[in-house]
Structure 1
Amino acid sequence: MRNMINGGNLVRGLVLATYKQVLGMWQFNLHFSPSWRAPYHPGVKFLHDKAGINFEQHETRGIPAIDFTKWLSESGLICNSNVDWITFAGCNDFGFLTCCLTGTQLGPDRLQFLNTFRELFPQSYDIRIFTKLGRCRPAVMDGGLSKVCQRLQVQVKIEGHAHNSA
């Protein structure tokens, strides 16, 4: 995970909702250059090939991570036990956010990361973990978010590429 996280910021998406309605949805295109990563980095290749990310736009028009971090820190969402963070395969997303919010790269100490993570995001759930472990239903569910939503009969409206955040 450290190798995927350290060395840059990529796309972040955020949806605010109650159990009744979506309150807002944003996709943040953070300042990023593929040159910040090792050549042929698998994360960069995936985002370019599968998600259709335009890295030139990120490099020239992306939001500086420090500005995004300031906004997020002041939003009241961080360190708030009344906020439930729900992701799908979100470990890298939380890793990026942790690096931004702490101003450090991920270190080798897993326990230290988990303690910091729990402080920043006290209530968090990863649907991917639940589906892989069979916690949502009696049987394990394979597949990506679209397939899991289809099996659970959850309506999803995806505009553009399926692998974009939010």
Structure 2
Amino acid sequence: MAEIEIRKVWASNLISEFGLIKGFLDQFPIISMDTEFPGTVFTVKTTALTKHLLSSLSAADTYAVMKRNVDALRLIQLGLTLSDPAGALPLLAGRRVGAWEFNFADFDSASDLHNPASLALLRRQGIDFAQNRLAGIDSRSFAVLFKLSGLHLNRRLAWVTFHGAYDLGFMVKILTGGRLLPSALPEFVELVDLHFGPRVYDVKPVARACGLHGGLEAIGKRMGLERALGRSHQAGSDSLLTMLVFVELMKRFGKEKQIMKDFNYVFFGLTETLLHYEGVH
């Protein structure tokens, strides 16, 4: 089996790596995505009496909190994993490409708004904020090249996230030139469709329909999936694990067409519907 690599993308190789991605899209139309950002700084104010109500927070309120955070924060990393529906990865120079990991220069840990605990976690997981500032990608350059790469407005692609509201929020922000997200959830969903096309999936609701709960790592372990490369809270590694979990769920369901229909544009906390499938454990 070919060795798997995560390709690190910086300002210096951004153009060439997008060129590689463009050449693989016809054969590998499933794009799994993960982002890393400096935590959340705005939350719903709760007390001991109201904390239990968070699980039933309305979609509008959940979106409002997400919007406030995305509007105020800057993206640190983006991971993209390209695969076919069976989970096969692109082959490049004898190695499988598990992910492209884009490192952004926009975030300044010394001055930009952030959650200190989240920043400390990202540091422990290996993200070098000084290196990102020095050699990272300007999000405006990324947006231009993304739109030329074949990823943008490509109706053939299927996009996959895990608990993906923030991933999509930050991507919409970057692709609209840093504009504030729309004030209402339906307008946000329209922008997701405009930039990512008619097929966008969030693995978390799919897993919940299988009776699998928790975060990406926990669900992967329950399914017997090992992290193929890298560490958690690194965007490339997490996008690869997102793909592996998604493909495995498809295999266990044995109902790929039904899943693709039932869970299209079903985002955890925003547009989720309660579905349950039997016999998938």
Instruction: Give TM-score, length-normalised by structure 2.
Output: 0.51
Equivalent AA in structure 2 for residue 96 of structure 1: F
The residue aligned with 1:45 is 117
- CA distance, structure 2, for counterparts of residue 60 and residue 45 of structure 1: 23
> SS where residue 101 of structure 2 aligns?
strand
Higher-Rg member (1/2): 2
Equivalent AA in structure 2 for residue 105 of structure 1: L
Tell me, yes or no, if structure 1 residue 154 matches structure 2 residue 229: no
Unpaired runs of 5+ residues, structure 1, are: none
Deviation at 1:130?
A: 2.2
The 5 Å alignment of 1:80-159 reads 80-103=154-177, 104-121=179-196, 122-131=198-207, 134-135=208-209, 137=210, 139=211, 141-159=212-230
The residue aligned with 1:11 is 77
The 5 Å alignment of 1:48-63 reads 48-50=120-122, 51-63=125-137
Deviation at 1:47?
A: 4.1
Structure 1 stretches (4+) deviating beyond 3 angstroms?
none
Evaluate the alpha carbon distance shift between residue 37 and residue 4 of structure 1 in structure 2; reply closer, same or farther with a 3 A threshold: farther
Unpaired runs of 5+ residues, structure 2, are: 1-65, 91-96, 237-281
Instruction: Give TM-score, length-normalised by structure 1.
Output: 0.83
The 5 Å alignment of 1:26-45 reads 26-31=100-105, 32-35=107-110, 37-38=112-113, 41-42=114-115, 45=117
The residue aligned with 2:142 is 68
Question: What is the Cα-based RMSD across aligned positions, in Å?
Answer: 2.0
> SS where residue 163 of structure 1 aligns?
coil
- CA distance, structure 2, for counterparts of residue 3 and residue 34 of structure 1: 19
- Map Cα deviations across residues 65-98 of structure 1 (whole Å, 9 max, x no partner): 1111112111111222211111112211111110
Corresponding pairs, count:
157
